[in-house]
Structure 1
């Protein structure tokens, strides 16, 4: 059941960022061949994952006034994501991402997003998304959007300001992308955002981007430094890939092992993890319950092809515990 039913008409989660058209080849691009067409974007992956779990989600991003943009919006609408806060940019194209399988466990990714509509998302668009139908319960941001350009950075900053004004919980997934900016550039922005953040999610190698330079040491030590810095952060969740994840709070730290599955495609696993964690948070679950749902949704992503296609519905969450070869009737 959607948590919206218990909270009036407020949207559960608002997220913003760039969603691109995704083309997935069957082999080396230079050899040609067929490609599957879909969409991809960290923030919209989270929105879809939450929508499938029964939560109301809204995506505020910009697409071009083109057929690629229509594909993005149509797909998100079909997945139950509210795109009324999205904007169309008549002067910039929708971004494109190409996935090129080269080895069984190696896929090269090629981006065509410079000057895209998503990089030109405006603060005014974010203000409009916050206003209608009303402030969301949770704002979810990643470290990808601010790296796209000055306009997108300003849009994210405005979203953080609005979240503070309206008492909206802020979740930040660091999601560092070295192709978009340097670690130094990312650190400057992430550290300036920390005072606005309630739930911080990062891999162990991304955590240093969020703490003061002198806060060296282990991920556990860095998490404790963030929790004790008077920033307002109540939870630091460290994603450890195949080793699971650890949540750090004022009460201590709790680790959850990854669920064993046959890995097919790791793309989108981190976004699925975030969707699971926020879902349990919205449901009022404790830290153990949040981690359990997060590693479960992450496992579904790893066991499926695509960025978001394998995201489970609420009734499917128990399938991973059904056992190998089980027929579910």
Structure 2
């Protein structure tokens, strides 16, 4: 298995009209969740990826499972819970480049994840363990599960990739900061945004943030900077890798997950760090051009077309 990730996936409802959701009468139904988005992104790029979670034994849970199975994500470690529902959330596209998100996930099946739900043999086969700061915010048992997965990954020699994915609505700032810093200390690779770095360290300079995360114990830090691109840091080198221009951002939700999938894909293909970050930037840009968390996640040929076009433009 190339990558294993764990976390909550939900059913996403989006009004078919812009403006206040209170006035909407029709909605589209799709699937979304940071970790499963990364899983789908990697699968579309040709990698073997597994997703660990719990779903309600309901129609929404069955929809999530069918969707991920159809994307060639391994769902053998997903557990159905008959006593808790599948989480849902709503997107409210207010204006161009402005989308509000409302979560209804308290008491969801995924929030019932516990360390006993982890299959040690399954995790031992993963080259990379991908985790986010969302899962430990769902419940105390979810937090314990994430740290147990980290322990097992270290025991098995897997590389730990951590995306803070800060969600301030899910927990208080002190607990969030303390937990995310503990996760950063355990991770080999950290993929924060500038705002998350500022939340954790009170610093917004990319180079300084990179050094701060490295001092925590990470070997590689890649700071996502939106349209500007991404800034990577190691003990030996650091550089800004420019982003790809997007004429119109249709839906920004999920771009960071696409970035993570693109970066991991580059590492799995043996690319040097700068090229892996470039692939991450390309995938993130492509995601923003399409509505839906996973709908814009590209296949390999689309990414290569964008990368080749960018290379030709540079040459000219």
TM-score higher than 0.5: yes
The reply to whether residue 315 of structure 1 matches residue 307 of structure 2 is no
The reply to whether residue 192 of structure 1 matches residue 204 of structure 2 is no
Task: Please give the alpha-carbon distance, in whole angstroms, between the structure 1 residues aligned to 2:233 and 2:116.
Answer: 35
Which 5+ residue runs of structure 2 have no aligned equivalent? 311-316
Where does residue 264 of structure 2 map in the other structure?
278
Task: Please give the alpha-carbon distance, in whole angstroms, between the structure 2 residues aligned to 1:225 and 1:111.
Answer: 32
Task: Please give the alpha-carbon distance, in whole angstroms, between the structure 2 residues aligned to 1:322 and 1:238.
Answer: 24
Where does residue 89 of structure 2 map in the other structure?
97
Where does residue 121 of structure 1 map in the other structure?
113
State the Cα distance separating 1:320 from its structure 2 match.
2.4
State the Cα distance separating 1:300 from its structure 2 match.
0.6
Task: Please give the alpha-carbon distance, in whole angstroms, between the structure 1 residues aligned to 2:129 and 2:301.
Answer: 25
Does the aligned pair in 1 maintain the 2:4–2:123 contact within 8 Å?
Answer: no
> SS of 2:51's equivalent?
strand
Provide Cα deviations, 1:175-225, integer angstroms capped at 9, x if missing partner: 1011112332111112222332100010112124555x8xx5733223213
TM-score, normalised relative to structure 2: 0.92
Which 5+ residue runs of structure 1 have no aligned equivalent? 1-10, 325-329
**Matched pairs, number:** 307
CA shift in 2, pair 1:29/1:259, >3 Å: same
Task: Please give the alpha-carbon distance, in whole angstroms, between the structure 2 residues aligned to 1:201 and 1:93.
Answer: 30
Does the aligned pair in 1 maintain the 2:2–2:128 contact within 8 Å?
Answer: yes
> SS of 1:261's equivalent?
coil
Provide Cα deviations, 1:86-114, integer angstroms capped at 9, x if missing partner: 11111100000111222233222111101
2:208 to 207, 221, 226: 221
State the Cα distance separating 1:251 from its structure 2 match.
1.5
CA RMSD of aligned residues (A): 1.8
Where does residue 17 of structure 1 map in the other structure?
7
The reply to whether residue 243 of structure 1 matches residue 233 of structure 2 is no
Does the aligned pair in 2 maintain the 1:13–1:56 contact within 8 Å?
Answer: yes
Where does residue 37 of structure 1 map in the other structure?
29
Where does residue 284 of structure 2 map in the other structure?
298
TM-score, normalised relative to structure 1: 0.89
Larger helix proportion of the pair = 2
Where does residue 4 of structure 1 map in the other structure?
none
State the Cα distance separating 1:134 from its structure 2 match.
4.3
Task: Please give the alpha-carbon distance, in whole angstroms, between the structure 1 residues aligned to 2:63 and 2:8.
Answer: 13
State the Cα distance separating 1:43 from its structure 2 match.
0.3
Task: Please give the alpha-carbon distance, in whole angstroms, between the structure 2 residues aligned to 1:251 and 1:322.
Answer: 28
Task: Please give the alpha-carbon distance, in whole angstroms, between the structure 2 residues aligned to 1:36 and 1:236.
Answer: 36
Does the aligned pair in 2 maintain the 1:16–1:61 contact within 8 Å?
Answer: yes
